[in-house]
Structures are given as structure tokens and as C-alpha cells.
Structure 1
Amino acid sequence: MRPTGVGIGEVARRTGLSVHTLRLYERVGIFAGPVQRDAAGRRVYSEWDIAWLGNCVLFRASGMPLAALAELAWLVSEGEGNEADRLDLLRAHRQRVREQMTQLTDCLQLIDAKVAAYEKHLGAGAGGDPWQPNRP
């Protein structure tokens, strides 16, 4: 039986991942199953593979390391019985994301304060550096 599906270029276009990244993901075990090949040896991806990659893109954007993503993929590929391990992995990542969001909120508050100060300073037609008003 000949595998049918989507070629690597189309998957790259649909996911926003480069062809190089797709090959890397296959090498390091990011797919939750083997990538099929056609008779010529070209990669052929299923719609499930593409949906999985959509999740992977978001996990990576949230800072999930490749090793954790590969572990999750391995757990998924193993099938039923390891759902608690998957949950533990996802909970740990969720906690890291929450901590990062807290830090980014603090950063955004500082940036907002600086923007407001510069807008006020420039809006008043003041010269010089608003942070060092008494500097000679």
C-alpha cells in the first residue's frame, strides 16, 4: 500500500515551520509516530501529523524545550496507560509558563511606566533626559 498524504513543502507552508525544522523534529523524536514515506522515499504527512505539529508550534512558542516535547511525543506514541505522565509533564510546563507570564507582566508594567513618562515629558515640551533632570 502506498502512503498518501501531504508533502514536506506543503506541511512547512501550513505550519510555518521550515523544511529544515521538520526534518530536525523527525530526527529528535518530536513526531508522535513514524513519518511515512512514499515509494521515492519522500516524507508524507497525515492530517494528524499536521495537527500534532500545530500543537508543537504552540508548545515551542510557550518555551517548551525540545527534550520535553520529544518526551511528550514519545508518551503519546506509546498509547494508553501513561496519561498521568503526560499530565505531569504538561502541568510542569504550565507552571513555567505562568511564572514567565508573571515576569512578563512586571516587565510590561515597567515599560508602560517609561512610555507614559516619556509621553508626558515630550508632551510638555520639556528638554533633556526625563530620568536625570538635575544632570549638568
Structure 2
Amino acid sequence: MMLSIRDVATQTGLTAHTLRYYEAIGLLGPISRSRSGQRQYSPADLNWLAFLLRLRSTGMGIRDMQRYATLRREGATLQSVQQREALLVQHAARLEDEIGQLQQTLAVLHDKIALYRTQAGELKASCSFPSQGAQHASTAHPEPDH
């Protein structure tokens, strides 16, 4: 079943302009046309777009995506396959580094959340004694650096 540019835009979340741009810069191969000149996308085009969107969502730049698309069009030659593999290995390594950094940041956030929960519990407990009140709580628990 062939799809119009509007249908593909709806399914992928891309604009029609972006789809035409992807075709113009070589990310998409030539898209077939109806007799009236309307673009007609195939299921294979949609699968390729889904892969491109995954690359884009993980931060791969347009130039690397273009290089990958060019190599893909060359077919299953040894050189093309090895170069595509190398591009994806490099990209995966960048993602793994980014994930590691994000995990470290998440650990810091979890530590801060635990600290604030502990402090909130202590402040609630100390405020339950009317003679101590909020004045005691603010001096007993100074604001953390972050």
C-alpha cells in the first residue's frame, strides 16, 4: 500500500517539508510518484524513515546519517557493510558514554531526593513539638549546597 506525504507525515511525526528535505539531501532515495506527480511512499520507505528517526532521536548528526544512507544505497558490498558497521559502532559508543553520564547525574539526583525526604521527615517531627517550632528546625537543618 502506498502512502501520501500527508499520511507519512502523520505516521512519523515529521512535517511534509522535512520529508521533502530528507529526500533532497539524500537521506531518502527517490520517492516514487503518482501519475499526477504526488509522492507515494512504500512500506520500505516507512521502515527506513523509522530507522532514520531512531538515529536522529539518539543524536546522530545529519552528515553521519547522510553517509550511512549513501553507504546503504551502495548495497551489500564488503566496504559498504564495514563502513556502516563502523558508523554504528562509533555512534553506539557515544550513546554509551552519554548514558553513563546520565546515570551518574541520575544517581546524584536520587541522593538529593533522599536527602530532602530525610530532612522533610525530620522537620515534620521537630515541628510536632510546639515549644521548638520552625525556629529550631531552620537552624538544625541548614540548606544544602545544591
> Shorter-chain TM-score: which interval?
0.7 to 0.9
Alignment correspondent of 1:28: 25
Partner SS, residue 39 of structure 1: coil
**Structure 2: unaligned runs, 5 residues or longer:** 124-136
Match of 2:33 in 1: 37
Larger CA Rg, structure 1 vs 2: 2
Q: Following superposition of structure 1 onto structure 2, how do residues 1-136 of structure 1 map, counting pairs within 5 Å?
A: 5-31=2-28, 33-81=29-77, 82-125=80-123, 126-127=137-138, 130-131=143-144
Contact 1:5 1:46 in 2 (8 A): yes
- Secondary structure of residue in 1 paired with 2:2: coil
Q: What's the % identity of the aligned pairs? A: 34
Which structure ranks higher in relative contact order (CA pairs < 8 Å, sequence separation ≥ 6)?
Answer: 1
Q: In the superposition, relative to structure 1, how do residues 119 and 20 fare at CA in structure 2: closer, same or farther (>3 Å)? A: farther
Q: What SS does the aligned partner of 1:124 have?
A: helix
Matches of 2:142 and 2:35, distance apart in 1: 68
The superposition leaves residues 96-124 of structure 1 with CA deviations (integer Å, 9 ceiling, x where unpaired) of 11111111111111111112212222232
CA contact (8 A) 1:117 1:130 kept: no
Which amino acid in the other structure matches residue 7 of structure 1?
S
Flag the structure with higher helix content: 2
Distance 1:117 1:84, change over 3 A: same
State TM-score, norm by structure 1: 0.85
